[in-house]
Amino acid sequence: MKSDKAVLGFLAGLATGAILGILYAPSAGKETRIKIVEGAKEARDTATKTVKDLSKQAMELKDMAMDKLSNAESAVRDTLSHADSTAKQAEREIKQKTNI
């Protein structure tokens, strides 16, 4: 969430700076409009790349989290299985020693 706001702030600042730079540059109206369109395309391309990069990072983090969760689940299952076996063995030993 925090990085999303930072990215949006960066993109807004980039777009604002590009537009102000173009508007205050000494150019003819047609040239200025062309520069604005080019600046908008660059901003769009930058935003698209940033979104793709963030999406890729999010998928990688999700995959890592799923792997860790799967490993933790396996470890818990193994521990429970071992505890169950140990409890059953202890029960058998107690029954054997007490002749129940």
Residue type, 85: S
Instruction: Look at phi and psi of residue 2 and say left if phi exceeds 0, alpha if psi is from -120 to 50, else beta.
Output: alpha
Angle between helices 2-24 and 29-98 (to 10 degrees): 170
The burial of 15, by beta-carbon neighbours within 10 Å (0-12 exposed, 13-18 middle, 19 or more buried), is given as middle
**pLDDT 10s digits, 6-65:** 777 888 888 888 777 767 767 677 777 788 889 889 989 999 999 999 999 999 999 999
The average pLDDT across 65-84 equals 96
The burial of 36, by beta-carbon neighbours within 10 Å (0-12 exposed, 13-18 middle, 19 or more buried), is given as middle
Q: What local confidence, expressed as pLDDT, does residue 98 receive?
A: 87
pTM of the full predicted structure?
Answer: 0.52
Q: What local confidence, expressed as pLDDT, does residue 75 receive?
A: 96
